[in-house]
Structure 1
Amino acid sequence: MEAPRHQPTLDEVALRAGVSRSAASRAVNGAPNVSRAKREAVARAVRDLGYVPHATARALATNHAGAVVLAVANDDPALFADPFYAQVIIGVAAELDAADLDLNLVLAAAGPGRQRLKQVLRARRADGVLVMAPRGADWLAGLSEVTDLPVVFGGRPLGAAPDWYVDADNRGGGRIAAEHLLALGRRRIAMIAGPSDLHAAVERARGVADALAVAGLSAERVAHGDFSPDSGAAAMASLLAAHPDLDGVVAASDNMAAGALRALRAAGRSVPDDVAVVGFDDLAVAQHTDPPLSTVHQPIQALGQEMAKMLLRLVDGERPSPLILPVRLVVRGSAPSAD
């Protein structure tokens, strides 16, 4: 009996054509926003392999808008100058460009930006939505419940469990930051936490508390900031006033850690001799503080890339699993390893 003939898959077409799976899907199904070179490469691969597209997939693909929205829970245009968001956007844009999809940025916390996003969703002028930094009960946190377009979150909404998200191991990062300070012999460790309505900030604080609890130490030395350098400086000053004997600090972002270093210097405290400091993110600023900042590295550009990849798979009819990206400690002068 003759063995059944192998049916070529879309992944094999994409591999042979040298394009992304999403670009191959769009080219096969006659969707817009596919370059001529990619369309011709896919057509050759289809002929060579004898690929036959699924009828349902063809019907879905021809309704594509050719664009993806990146919605951010903030209304300040200066946000896009923030190195964190700049790296996320670079990662997202690279994946969408490979798939011949446009990227539309929307500041959608409130006001005109929110209305624009609602209009895009109603008119289906996008194939899907990427959501960054939803806060607490922010309406963006429940976006997947009010649209049938695929929605992927960058970071999980606080108190919600979306089907699709990409996040960093924030709790693990907080834990390894505190463990590093403990390994240096620091026992009066404080935390400069981020906003209490942001999931990433809450998880980083929990990670620090986890490490201190295992060591039998108090996790009550906490002040909050908004991820800005000024808020980090203010939080550090507050902690020094309340706990003048503290000898270690974990800041929930590099920007806040940079502010903390400034406040420690103003208070006459030496870093790392008097107080060792560890940040979070591993932004460029971490290499240029005095001293350079020990920090938890999270793969920010990869976060954007994986968000876009997940959304493209959803657009193609797949159901990918949520993804947690690993983090690692980068040791520099603000909390150097013991000799």
Structure 2
Amino acid sequence: MTEGASRPTLEAVAARAGVSRATVSRVVNGGEGVREPLVERVRQAVEELGYVPNQAARSLVTKRHDAVAVVIAEPESRVFADPFFALQLRGISKELTAHDNQLVLLLTEGRADHARVGRYLAGGHVDGALVFSLHLDDPLPGLIQRAGVPTVFGGRPGWSDATRQAVYVDSDNRGGARTAVDHLVGLGRTRIAHITGPLDQTSAADRLDGYRDVVGDADPRLVVESDFTPAGGERAMRELLDRVPDVDAVFAANDLTAAGALRVLRERGRRVPEDVAVVGFDDMLPLAEQTDPPLTTVRQDIEEMGRLMARLLLRRLDRRSPGEAGRGAAGPDAAAGADVTAGADVRAGSDASTGVVLPTTLVRRASA
């Protein structure tokens, strides 16, 4: 089609295929009841003419926008500095692209942005939402509930309102933390510290619980709260060395924190792992292989978490679409079915939430 020429219409496709306009509409919009030979004729005509469906008109028929909001409850400066978010977005994007859906990215810089995100979701611009990096006092879950938008959360929800149902994807943060600390105990370390993430996030709280599962009687001075950043890891490691000079091991809540801790240990003349063994969490590549020394860490499949979030949401949306009624149960338990991924743990919580929890594994390198 030359520049300035009119766009092909449904009528033009129908004429080329030798079928009715209604038949073309059903084929283009994914409807049923059209014989396969006619479907092929319509598809060939669409390709020959370069027909592109009008999204607004298509939405009137399908009740779908083929767009999903990805809401990250963090400021832009954090999102684009932490490779965790890039990996999760990559998994989400791959799954949405494979199903011809658009990704709409929404970030929150402050409280005013929460209201903006709530208004956008309530405005009917997207079919559903994927939300992660929530904090315990975050108003977003309430805003999303009021908007009535199908949602899947990244990470175990931390709210206590039992009337809310939630589907979520998470890693085994507590179990992974236990594995890390058990490893340090097995190395003969007795003064094992923990640099946490922000404890208003369930992932950080679960990792702290896993640490305490193993060394619950540890000196409370061995726990320092941080923020999942390299700078936070540096500050926490300096505080630990000042508080407890004889610390001989550190479990850091993520690899970025561990990288900051390693820099401070080097500055202070502490050999790793001879004087202080260090274990991180994430197995963020290439970072974990490029620290000095390479980092022993707990691996979680971050990209897979994003992919599963998108897959669960798309399944929920398919059940809500016209003509899809009755295909499977409607609640979150069905959305998080055991067939989602091999090896995942499907958990039903006391707060009516249902989660798919992915396993974690220890990756041994030179730091511990």
Tell me whether the two structures share a fold, i.e. TM-score over 0.5: yes
CA distance in 1, matches of 2:119, 2:270: 53
Contact 1:73 1:108 in 2 (8 A): yes
Amino acid aligned to 2:247:
L
Amino acid aligned to 1:200:
S
SS of the residue 1:100 aligns to: coil
CA-to-aligned-CA distance 1:185-213 (integer Å, 9 cap, x gap): 11110000010101000000100110123
CA distance in 1, matches of 2:282, 2:239: 23
Q: How many residues align?
A: 288
CA distance in 2, matches of 1:198, 1:238: 22
Rg (Cα) greater in structure: 2
Residue 229 (structure 1) shift: 0.5
1:205 paired to 2:208: yes
Once the two structures are superposed, the pairs formed by residues 123-134 of structure 1 within 5 Å of their partners are 123-134=123-134
Residue 101 (structure 1) shift: 0.6
Contact 1:135 1:141 in 2 (8 A): no
1:86 alignment partner in structure 2 = 86
RMSD: 2.6
Residue 87 (structure 1) shift: 0.5
1:320 alignment partner in structure 2 = 335
1:102 alignment partner in structure 2 = 102
Residue 220 (structure 1) shift: 5.0
Q: Which moved more, 1:274-283 or 1:148-157?
A: 148-157
CA-to-aligned-CA distance 1:248-291 (integer Å, 9 cap, x gap): 11000100000000111111111000000000011121110000
1:263 alignment partner in structure 2 = 264
CA distance in 2, matches of 1:256, 1:42: 56
CA-to-aligned-CA distance 1:275-334 (integer Å, 9 cap, x gap): 000000111211100000000000000000000001001111254122001110000000
1:137 alignment partner in structure 2 = 137
2:255 alignment partner in structure 1 = 254
1:330 alignment partner in structure 2 = 363
Structure 1 residues 202 and 41, CA gap change in structure 2 (3 angstroms): farther
TM-score (norm 2): 0.73
Q: For structure 1, list consecutive stretches of 5 or more residues without a partner in the other structure.
A: 1-24, 31-38, 45-58
1:33 alignment partner in structure 2 = none
SS of the residue 2:104 aligns to: strand
CA distance in 2, matches of 1:128, 1:26: 22
Contact 2:249 2:276 in 1 (8 A): yes
1:163 paired to 2:196: no
2:242 alignment partner in structure 1 = 241
Q: Percent identity?
A: 44
Structure 1 residues 65 and 157, CA gap change in structure 2 (3 angstroms): same
CA distance in 2, matches of 1:266, 1:277: 15
Structure 1 residues 193 and 40, CA gap change in structure 2 (3 angstroms): farther
Structure 1 residues 270 and 77, CA gap change in structure 2 (3 angstroms): closer
Contact 1:228 1:255 in 2 (8 A): yes
SS of the residue 1:333 aligns to: coil
Structure 1 residues 92 and 136, CA gap change in structure 2 (3 angstroms): same
Structure 1 residues 42 and 291, CA gap change in structure 2 (3 angstroms): farther
1:295 alignment partner in structure 2 = 297
Contact 1:72 1:109 in 2 (8 A): no
Amino acid aligned to 2:362:
L
Amino acid aligned to 2:103:
L
1:74 paired to 2:107: no
CA-to-aligned-CA distance 1:94-147 (integer Å, 9 cap, x gap): 110011110000003535643442232222110001001110110123344212
Contact 2:118 2:144 in 1 (8 A): no
Structure 1 residues 219 and 171, CA gap change in structure 2 (3 angstroms): farther
SS of the residue 1:234 aligns to: helix
1:122 paired to 2:122: yes
TM-score (norm 1): 0.79
Contact 2:128 2:313 in 1 (8 A): yes
CA distance in 2, matches of 1:169, 1:248: 22
CA distance in 2, matches of 1:193, 1:64: 42
Contact 1:189 1:248 in 2 (8 A): yes
Contact 1:135 1:157 in 2 (8 A): no
